[in-house]
Structure 1
Amino acid sequence: MAPDAPDAPDAPGASDAPDAADDRAPGRGPAGLTRRRLLAGSAALGSAAWLLRGIITPDDAEAAPAGTPALPVPPAFPAGIELYRQTYENWAGEIHADQLWTCTPHTPEDVVTLANWAHAQGWRLRAQGHRHTWAPLTVANGTPAATAVLLVDTTRHLTAISAAGTAAAPAVRAQAGTDMETLLAHLAGRGLGVTHCPAPGDITLGGVLAIGGHGTAVPTAGESSGPGHGFGSISNLVTQLTAVVWDQGAGRYVLRTFDRAEADTAAFLVNLGRSFVTEAVLRAGADRNMRCLSRIDVPASELFAAPGGGNGRSLADFLEQSGRVEAIWFAFTEFPWLKSWSVAPERPFSSRAVSQPYNYPFSDNIPTPVADLAGRLVSGSWALAPTFGQLQYLIAAIGLTGDLTDVLLSGTLLEDLLSLDVVTHLLAGGLRSDLWGPSRTLLQYVRPTTLRMAANGYAVLARRADVQWVVNQVTSGYQRLLTQYQARGQFPVNGAVEIRVTGLEDPAASGVPGARPPLLSAIRARPDHPEWDVAVWFDVLTLPGTPGMYQFGRDLEQLLLAAFDGTRAALRVEWSKGWAYTADAAWADPDVLDRVIPDSYRAGGGPGWDEAVAVLDRYDPDRVFGNPFLDRLLR
């Protein structure tokens, strides 16, 4: 899921013992990040090799050579469900656990069997998709192989998808392991689509519902969402879901289907992996052809200017024009990559028609110069961060023209590329890429082969009229910190800042009377601030293992908490990304975990944090679907 100030200040869980692995610092990155590991997790080996490393079957475990640690098979494991040990590693490699027991259920009923087995044996179950996540919501970094935890891979068999709903209210029924690329392709085949969605296609529906996955979109002047469309998260489109829950009367776990109008459903829509949703039905609307314009000719000084500046080319200006924008600002560069999407029933004369997603090959595949310089960075030459930012910008600038892509993906050396005097020429030519096609072809644009970076993530709830103020607060505060670090000879950021904007959750988008918003969604509206109608999302990306990245993350987080204190706007964390920073770890600051995050959902009154925790506990009282980190967070 990819990445994300003038008055901002200059300042910079309970569990049983076997599961308490590395609970103090779940985000501490791997110490030995090498160029080989960096590329193995990206284009060099591809997603299949990354996901399938380290498999050990029960027979292999029983036949371990003399002198090696014992690998006991889970006791009384249910027959007929494939079981093996597998290395767990998340998207950026910050969370790594060796040889955890993993299984592949064929049916939702198999998950029920697993839940009852785990309950009887004192084990825990963690749903696992394609691991395209950053936060320790599945397992913590360094979880020992002996931990009584079983990963449940949904991607092999729990992937059924079918039409649902009615002709007047079309929908799709999909199991939790269905990836978003397949889901959107199914909808497109029926003439349906969504308003916006996460950019990667290799994320499961279960994962998207766990964290409230989103894209970027707000309505333009006079635009209505239309039946089946909405400007909130994918979770908000759910009309019905099925989950494995504890039945108190039966004394066992069972499958139960929840309709959206049921009050308890609101706790499952964004559940952080604290429940096991096996299937969901989502509303969809008539597909819309879209146009996506990319440009790199608007300087950050205009795009991120204070309100009233920008010469008519501020981010808020582009937002008003198209309603759908994303800015990618590479560190130590002047010109961000700005994408803007708009609804376009007919192909504009200047647009290139596309029929498939992933239309930025220079981004999807790591060019030789980028791999070369990334290797130098992770080998210890961190001061090359400004050069790396400029190189990423140059790759995007050249790639968007479409005429030098072959050069970029060939063996061009870094020094040769940096010597190319092309940027001035490109900018003078009014650089832009102009694509047009069905919605999914433009909404999905991140492949597993892109460069894998660590990312923090936050959402700022605000008035639409204050979007530019929020953007200016974030970017100026970020730039000020980056400059302060650089003056000390430190370069904690070598990726980009990414900024997107969405609407807030409107249950009416589901088409279900009586529907409630997802209680744990980062973009659930605040009852005390009805004027806050949008969320500005932003992430900061950097290579895992970059010195000072956690301290920088802490400094930025504290700056943002001070700037968006609930007076003019309010901050919430993006569940799938990095947050709760200490000087040397993410997801570790006790004040943010114990107070700031829960209070960000309690503020303003109405149902929220405490209700969601209580509902999830009621349907899983022994926390079979939990881990030590979630025990700490959701208490």
Structure 2
Amino acid sequence: MGPSVTGVTEPSKSDPRAAWSRRGFLLTAASLAAGPQFVLQDRAAAAAELPGFPEGVEVYRSAYRNWVGEITADGLWACAPADADEVVAVVNWARRQGWTVRARGASHGWSPLTVPAGAEPGAPVLLVDTTRHLTGLTIEADEPAAVRAGAGATLEALLTFLEGQGLGVTAAPAVGVLTVGGALAVDAHGTSVPARGERPLPGHTYGSLSNLVLSLTAVVWDADSDAYVLRTYGRDDADGAALLTHLGRALVTEVVLRVGANTSLRCVSRTDLSAAELFAEPGGRRTFASFLDEAGRVEAIWFPFTEFPWLKVWSVAPRRPLTSRRVTSPYNYPFSDSLPTPVADLVGRMVTEGAWYLAPVLGEAQFGAAALGLTATRSADIWGPSKNTLLYLRPTTLRIATDGYAVLTSREQVQRVIAEFTAFYRERIGAYAARGSFPVNGMVEIRVSGLDDPSAAGVEGARAPLLSALRPRGDRPDWDTAVWLNVLTLPGTPDAEAFYRELERFVLDTYDGGHALARVEWSKGWAYTDAAAWSDGDVLGGAVPASFDDSGGDGESRSAWDEAGEILDRLDPHGVFRNPLLDRLFP
């Protein structure tokens, strides 16, 4: 076998990692975090299997693994274009050969939007690795501030670059290895709404990263030249609205993002507030919503079968508070990046011995590790430039499955949504446990963000992303907030899919457009049957498209869903950027 050009030594056949079992993937996360393995091919050998492939473009065989290792494929062809012109060349080659093209960044996702489960070695699917060369970062403008970013640049690289220029963003996903292109494809987000009395700084948004886009460059079909070409779309472009969150149905090579002055953030962690108090019905003194009012940036992590969540509260603090520890780099919770021995031992027993009944013990161990770790690492009260508190998860963290939903509602209804969801979750997890089933052994995660208000881009005529879960509803101007709900569990946990299906039915039925509306979180799990995610036809063909329909049913206006589907089909009439899940969503 050839060298691993990412610097990861390829395991020999005698190495147990070579099997790439689910167990091995979970428990060797640290080794996998270095990146995908690939093997350079002799040019003549590649030419024999890929006739007419563009000269000079680096091509190789590659494995694909999604974040949690449930979707795997070996022996796919991949390439690393040196620039956007080479991307165009390989896309046109794929069109002529009848292949599909899938952009690959960090592979930090759960849903099969990139590669389907069970893809065969040598399948006519070409992975385009954006992380090798499409990583440029330059300041595009100063007043107002804007940055040009290659699709393969990581969020950590972007935020570090911005910090050096005195710039930043309001919120971001916690995982710094995400690529800019991948994050925008699925409307990646952080957790932030304005605190009471807070006014956003110019260049900042409380919505998803997609709402920061000023322009983007994508590979699209051009009928006049009978080929795919590069085209740049401004934020006011109707077609561009479908590309702001495109789900992998397009390929974006670079973007220009609106950014603003950097801020310093304080992040205080607490483990002394009970779930009963934090997730209570509206009106309590120390509820989740009360902390939103106080600081605007809140996250709750609730371990299973425990009573005290890990609450994080970020607040803008230009000067270091007296009790805060200054942090000069991100990832300040090492106990969540590498499993403490008691937690690792429990996970090992559950996975290798099928001891799923240990879920309550694991929940207590996870909570204990967090509570003790916050004290031992002096990370319960930290302060520094925004990047250093916003980014807090390394790829070495335990990789587990999750569902995901965004519930659009008004700011005044946030606590009601949280109370309803957590009450149902608590009742169902208890009912399953009573019959000896433990489908959840990971945490509940709750975050709250603003919506993708296009006015935040500062561009006249700016359009909202058509397919963002945070797209505002034109018929509900009172909805200005989204509650993000995730429940995590180890892959392979018995009854997990059935439990997720119950949760999903509750979420979709309860938040059906009355006081709130649920949309799926694209990168996570959804459309559950009792056996699998992304499989329920009623959700795929009904609930998901309907959640983007605010046309009023007048027969004249198109829904955002239909508009996006038409645009994406027109920009890629040959289906080069399609895959099986996208075919079910956009038949």
User: So what's the TM-score if we normalise by structure 2?
Assistant: 0.94
Q: Deviations over 1:186-212 (max 9, x none)?
A: 110000000001110000000011000
The equivalent of 2:41 in structure 1 is 58
The aligned amino acid for 2:312 is K
In the alignment, is residue 122 of structure 1 matched against residue 98 of structure 2? yes
| Equivalent of 1:356 in 305, 329, 332 | 329
The equivalent of 1:39 in structure 2 is 27
The equivalent of 1:375 in structure 2 is 348
The aligned amino acid for 1:529 is R
The equivalent of 2:276 in structure 1 is 301
- SS for the counterpart of 1:313 is coil
Q: Deviations over 1:348-402 (max 9, x none)?
A: 1111111111010111112222221111011111111111111100000000002
Q: Deviations over 1:510-531 (max 9, x none)?
A: 1111101000000111111111
Question: In the aligned structure 2, how far is the partner of 1:567 from the partner of 1:485?
Answer: 29
The equivalent of 2:371 in structure 1 is 397
- By how many angstroms is 1:75 displaced? 2.7
Q: Deviations over 1:151-204 (max 9, x none)?
A: 111101111111112x32011101100000000001100000000011100000
- By how many angstroms is 1:59 displaced? 3.7
The equivalent of 1:110 in structure 2 is 86
| Equivalent of 1:388 in 362, 375, 390 | 362
In the alignment, is residue 327 of structure 1 matched against residue 300 of structure 2? yes
The equivalent of 1:624 in structure 2 is 576
Seen in structure 2, the aligned counterparts of structure 1 residues 490 and 537 have a Cα distance that, compared at 3 Å, is same
Question: In the aligned structure 2, how far is the partner of 1:197 from the partner of 1:315?
Answer: 20
List gaps (5 residues or longer) in structure 2: 1-18
The equivalent of 2:8 in structure 1 is none
- By how many angstroms is 1:58 displaced? 3.2
Question: In the aligned structure 2, how far is the partner of 1:366 from the partner of 1:72?
Answer: 46
- By how many angstroms is 1:462 displaced? 0.5
| Equivalent of 2:239 in 264, 275, 286 | 264
Seen in structure 2, the aligned counterparts of structure 1 residues 274 and 485 have a Cα distance that, compared at 3 Å, is same
In the alignment, is residue 252 of structure 1 matched against residue 227 of structure 2? yes
Of 481-490 and 203-212, deviating more is 481-490
Does the aligned pair in 1 maintain the 2:104–2:129 contact within 8 Å?
Answer: yes
Higher relative contact order (CA 8 A, sep 6+): 1
The equivalent of 1:419 in structure 2 is none
Does the aligned pair in 1 maintain the 2:25–2:32 contact within 8 Å?
Answer: no
Question: In the aligned structure 1, how far is the partner of 2:83 from the partner of 2:114?
Answer: 21
Question: In the aligned structure 2, how far is the partner of 1:313 from the partner of 1:371?
Answer: 33
Count of matched residue pairs: 563
- SS for the counterpart of 1:52 is coil
- SS for the counterpart of 1:158 is coil
- By how many angstroms is 1:98 displaced? 1.4
Please give the residue correspondences for 1:479-628 in structure 2 after superposition, counting only pairs within 5 Å. 479-603=426-550, 605=552, 607-628=559-580
- By how many angstroms is 1:76 displaced? 2.1
- By how many angstroms is 1:60 displaced? 10
- By how many angstroms is 1:329 displaced? 0.2
In the alignment, is residue 173 of structure 1 matched against residue 148 of structure 2? yes
Question: In the aligned structure 2, how far is the partner of 1:75 from the partner of 1:384?
Answer: 54
| Equivalent of 1:365 in 314, 321, 338 | 338
Does the aligned pair in 1 maintain the 2:330–2:389 contact within 8 Å?
Answer: yes
List gaps (5 residues or longer) in structure 1: 1-30, 64-70, 406-431
| Equivalent of 2:197 in 197, 215, 222 | 222
- SS for the counterpart of 2:380 is strand
Question: In the aligned structure 2, how far is the partner of 1:496 from the partner of 1:471?
Answer: 15
The equivalent of 2:61 in structure 1 is 85
In the alignment, is residue 274 of structure 1 matched against residue 249 of structure 2? yes
Question: In the aligned structure 1, how far is the partner of 2:22 from the partner of 2:127?
Answer: 27
- SS for the counterpart of 2:257 is strand
The equivalent of 1:191 in structure 2 is 166
Question: In the aligned structure 1, how far is the partner of 2:165 from the partner of 2:243?
Answer: 28
Seen in structure 2, the aligned counterparts of structure 1 residues 154 and 260 have a Cα distance that, compared at 3 Å, is same
- By how many angstroms is 1:34 displaced? 5.2
User: So what's the TM-score if we normalise by structure 1?
Assistant: 0.87
- By how many angstroms is 1:146 displaced? 3.2
In the alignment, is residue 336 of structure 1 matched against residue 309 of structure 2? yes
Question: In the aligned structure 2, how far is the partner of 1:251 from the partner of 1:46?
Answer: 41
In the alignment, is residue 202 of structure 1 matched against residue 177 of structure 2? yes
